[in-house]
């Protein structure tokens, strides 16, 4: 379990105080400029592609040391700076009252500010700029995504307003909260985490009691993992010392979904330290699996081939494992879904495939 903060406050209370003070400090920067007869401006780390660097030691993307300035002395930046101040004040109110709002709600609330956003994308960017500037996450600021979280099934006891066990809340398990950092891990009786791309595979594993057979938590990613899902996987890996294994469709898109969990994304380089799980392992479906298990396949499309070639040049895929599997998939020209194991029966994936994969991982340890 995570250690209790030395201050005696809960993690939730500490983060509220930290975030509130960061937001208050943002306004103080502007006030100090005015008091010193300076043109108000804010220094913001650059999120341009030239300032996104893959850190070999950390094994994920980080921001470099380039900064930019938003200044009221630049006519082109007045609107953006004003929007950032409004968003900051909106978030300060959310944090103070322990409220949340979706990023879509913030977009509509801005209609009453007199400096509203033209598009949802514009408001999203300002929210991300605030993350970068303050060094906190969007969720810490009280801003939530629209999408539902992933599902977790297995023997872990959580405190999420009420105490619950993820194996006793129905067959769909516990839905990961957008405010997952405010959830406490109370107890668990598992020794690993298995994350799967599709909810079809998630439900198959639950039906076959895979959580008991493999003493594992089962996480259904629902495709590309949401930020809260990635944060959950990061926390159980670092706080509970549970190894994380990922099984996705055998195609470049499945590879990418797994790698974003493992090494983060370039777009979120400013928060990858909180989201990436570099020690997580990809256990399939691989090109080798397609061959070894003689799986039903689909032919690679031109866009698949192009994407695989892009991945082969990405620093996140430079290991021998990834390079071998990418080249092999290009050579056979085939891809396969997780559910393709059903060729051998519904139970095959639990009876044969995962036991073999876990044994392989244990032998490599």
Cα 272 to the center of its chain, rounded Å = 8
Using CA atoms, how far apart are residues 123 and 325, in angstroms rounded to an integer? Answer: 39
Rounded CA separation 83/299 (Å): 48
CA distance from start to end of the chain? 24
Cβ–Cβ under 8 Å, residues 290 and 332: yes
Q: How does DSSP assign 269-286, residue by residue?
A: GGGHHHH--TT-EEEE--
Q: How far apart are CA 110 and CA 90, in angstroms?
A: 9
Which residue among 108, 174, 245, 293 is the active-site one? 108
Burial grade of 62 (CB within 10 A; 0-12, 13-18, 19 or more): middle
CB 128 within 8 A of CB 106: no
Tokens of 297: 């396949």
Phi-psi region of 364 (alpha: psi -120 to 50; beta: other; left: phi over 0): alpha
Beta bridge partners of 165: 157
**Helix, strand or coil for residue 151?**
strand
Examine the residue annotation and report whether 108 is marked as an active-site residue of this protein: yes
Q: Are 259 and 318 in contact (CB under 8 A)?
A: no
What does the DSSP 8-state code read for residue 351? I
Instruction: Please give the Cα distance from 351 to 341 (Å, whole number).
Output: 11
The two three-digit tokens of residue 352, written as one number = 């044969």
CA 337 to chain centre: 22
Q: 61: closest CA among 76, 50, 74, 77?
A: 50
**Rounded CA separation 353/345 (Å):** 12
Residues whose CB is less than 8 angstroms from the CB of residue 88 and which lie 6 or more positions away in sequence, other chains included: 23, 26, 27, 130
* Residues forming the active site: 108
């Amino acid at each position: 379990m995570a250690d209790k903060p030395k201050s005696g406050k809960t993690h939730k209370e500490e983060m509220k105080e930290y975030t509130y003070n960061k937001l208050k400090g943002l306004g103080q920067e502007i006030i100090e400029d005015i008091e010193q007869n300076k043109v108000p401006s804010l220094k913001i780390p650059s999120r341009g592609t030239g300032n996104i660097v893959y850190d070999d030691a950390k094994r994920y993307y980080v921001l470099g040391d380039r900064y930019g300035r938003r200044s009221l002395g630049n006519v082109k930046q007045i609107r953006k700076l004003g929007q950032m101040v409004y968003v900051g004040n909106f978030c300060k109110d959310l944090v103070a009252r322990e409220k949340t709002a979706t990023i879509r709600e913030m977009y509509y609330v801005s209609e009453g500010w007199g400096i509203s956003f033209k598009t949802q994308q514009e408001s999203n960017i300002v929210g991300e700029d605030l993350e970068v500037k303050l060094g906190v996450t969007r969720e810490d600021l009280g801003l939530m995504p629209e999408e539902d979280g992933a599902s977790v099934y297995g023997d872990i006891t959580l405190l999420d307003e009420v105490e619950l066990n993820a194996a006793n809340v129905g067959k769909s398990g516990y839905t990961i909260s957008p405010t997952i950092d405010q959830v406490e891990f109370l107890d668990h009786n598992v020794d690993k985490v298995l994350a799967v791309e599709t909810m079809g595979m998630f439900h198959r594993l639950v039906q076959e009691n895979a959580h008991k057979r493999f003493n594992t938590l089962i996480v259904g990613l629902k495709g590309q993992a949401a930020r809260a899902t990635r944060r959950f996987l990061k926390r159980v890996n670092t706080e509970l010392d549970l190894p994380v294994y990922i099984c996705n469709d055998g195609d470049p898109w499945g590879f990418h979904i797994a790698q974003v969990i493992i090494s983060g994304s370039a777009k979120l380089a400013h928060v990858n330290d909180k989201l990436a799980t570099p020690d997580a392992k990809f256990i399939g479906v691989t090109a080798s699996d397609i061959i070894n298990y003689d799986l039903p396949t689909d032919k690679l499309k031109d866009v698949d081939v192009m994407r695989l070639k892009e991945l082969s040049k990405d620093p996140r895929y430079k290991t021998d494992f990834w390079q071998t599997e990418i080249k092999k998939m290009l050579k056979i020209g085939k891809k396969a879904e997780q559910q393709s194991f059903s060729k051998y029966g519904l139970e095959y994936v639990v009876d044969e495939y995962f036991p073999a994969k876990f044994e392989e991982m244990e032998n490599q340890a």
